[in-house]
Amino acid sequence: MISESTSKNITVVGAGLAGSECALQLAQFGFDVVLYEMRGVKNTPAHKTDHFAELVCSNSFGSLSEVSAPGQLKWEAEHLGSFILKAAKEFAVPAGQALGIDRERFAAKVTELVNSHPKITVKRDVVTSLDQIPRPAVIATGPLTDEGLAASLQQHFGDEFLYFFDAIAPIIDADSINTDIAWKADRYDKGTPDYYNCPLDKEQYFNFINEIKAARKIEPKHFESTEFFEGCMPIEAMIDRGDQTLRFGPMKPVGLTNPKTGRYPFAAVQLRQDNKEGTAYNIVGFQTRMAYGEQTRIFRMIPGLENAEFLKLGSIHRNMYINSPKRLNRDLSSKNDPWLFFAGQITGVEGYFESTCIGLLVARFLRQKLQDQSFSPPPRTSAMGSLLEAITDPFREKNFQPTNINFGLLPPLADSIKDKKEKKTQQVRLAQEALRSWSN
């Protein structure tokens, strides 16, 4: 195996969000990049196309709020010139305070950016072994890594990989939504009426819950011993925690006044625009592992979706990730091979944009190393630095679980501030100051 930088090219394996961002950043730095992508040669259970950076679970990059951890992460990525974020904003769709994206146009744009870059050579091929690829290399194959490559990685690290399951929400034809029942509004009428809201009374809600409980589910092998990530938990798993769990989760009615009654409904299902034209909507938070026939029948019980036409039904797929605090260095290179880097969800971050940011950081770390510079991670007070800390801190290796960005990852403030909004404002201010100083 090649264990040092002997190639003039940098190899990136996987053209998802992290791999595409990493390849584009490296190319922009002036390096020659060879980018491998197996789709087009070998399909995955979750993807529909062979486009790069295809979004499979939802079409949202999360909050854009200036006083939120996801919003701060986007601020930092924009400050560092994220190609993925720029494309996402170009093909944004109305989604209230979130960054919703037309997933087909977005993926097509990223594919065009990568294919047209003179410093990037794309190879549509399946990498089945680490021995196939020269160093330096970045593995950004994500949760659906080829079985052969996964076996090679397992041999490299010498232990089992960790797994959890992701579920995907269904998508509905907008023309099939009954707008005599469903109405458009955002919570608390913030002036962005971007979501369709489907109201349920108490009887409708519990009938709906009982049908989900009785529905036939698709159970993966060894399912009971493998966990879901909290952010992509299927509705059936939520209901296992109690019949009213959905009323305090994706079906919470607060802030949604039904114009027909002037009151909040007992529960509500929200639909978020899925493409630029507004012809498709996804059911927010309704990841599911129900069998296809059951999904169609049960989701049509939702008022306003009686005649729903499903463009895509929900499904479930397995995610694979490394125990990064145990197996990777702080620059996200392997402790067994300092020229083998990892980026994206495989490192134990969860979320589209978190994965993107790890790809961006790895490109910067590789540039530092290739130019014989000292390793310089983003400041701990920044969102980027806090996310990196969460997946590399040795303290976490015994009970390592995937994480997305949240204020709990940022270091506590020196001064005790009781007002939550003021506290977050101060954390954001410190994060921005630190990131600016680091990037200059």
Directed axis angle between helix 352-370 and helix 69-79, to 10°? 40
Binding residues: 14-19
Q: From CA 66, how far away is CA 54, in angstroms rounded?
A: 26
At 229 the pLDDT is 54
CATH topology of domain 10-162+321-439: FAD/NAD(P)-binding domain (3.50.50)
pLDDT digits (tens, 9 = 90+) for 42-84: 776 656 777 999 988 788 898 999 899 999 999 999 999 999 9
pLDDT of residue 49: 74
CATH 3.50.50.60 range(s) for the chain read 10-162+321-439
- More confident call, 316 vs 202: 202
Please give the angle made by the CA atoms of 103, 109 and 113, to the nearest 5 degrees: 145
Give me the DSSP letters along 110-177.
HHHHHHH-TTEEEEE-----GGGSPSSEEE--GGG--HHHHHHHHHHHTSPPEEEEEEE--EEEGGGS
Query: Hunting for tokens 């410093």 — which residue is that?
Result: 119
Phi, psi of 402 (to 5 degrees): -60, 150
More confident residue, 401 or 24: 24
Q: How many whole angstroms from its chain centre is CA 257?
A: 30
Distances (CA, A) of 394 to 127, 347, 361: 30, 14, 19
Give me the mean pLDDT over the 236-265 stretch.
94
Q: Assign domain 171-317 to its CATH architecture.
A: Beta Barrel (2.40)
CA distance 435 to 88: 22
287 token code pair: 């990841």
Strand partners, 310: 172
Q: Which pLDDT score, from 0 to 100, does residue 402 have?
A: 79
Rounded CA separation 140/142 (Å): 6
**Range ranked top by mean pLDDT from 44-53, 210-219, 244-253, 419-428:** 244-253
The structure's pTM equals 0.75
Output the known binding site for FAD: 14-19
Contact by Cβ (8 Å): 172, 283: yes
pLDDT in tens, 263-285: 999 999 999 988 777 888 999 98
pLDDT confidence band for 158 (50 / 70 / 90): confident
Residue-wise pLDDT for 297-315, tens only, equals 999 999 999 999 887 788 7
Beta bridge partners of residue 342, listed in sequence order: 139
CB-side neighbour CA atoms (13 Å) of 257: 6
C-alpha distances out from residue 354 to 8, 76, 157, 207, 350, Å? 29, 12, 24, 37, 6
| CATH 2.40.30 residue spans of the chain | 171-317
Whole-number pLDDT of residue 333:
98
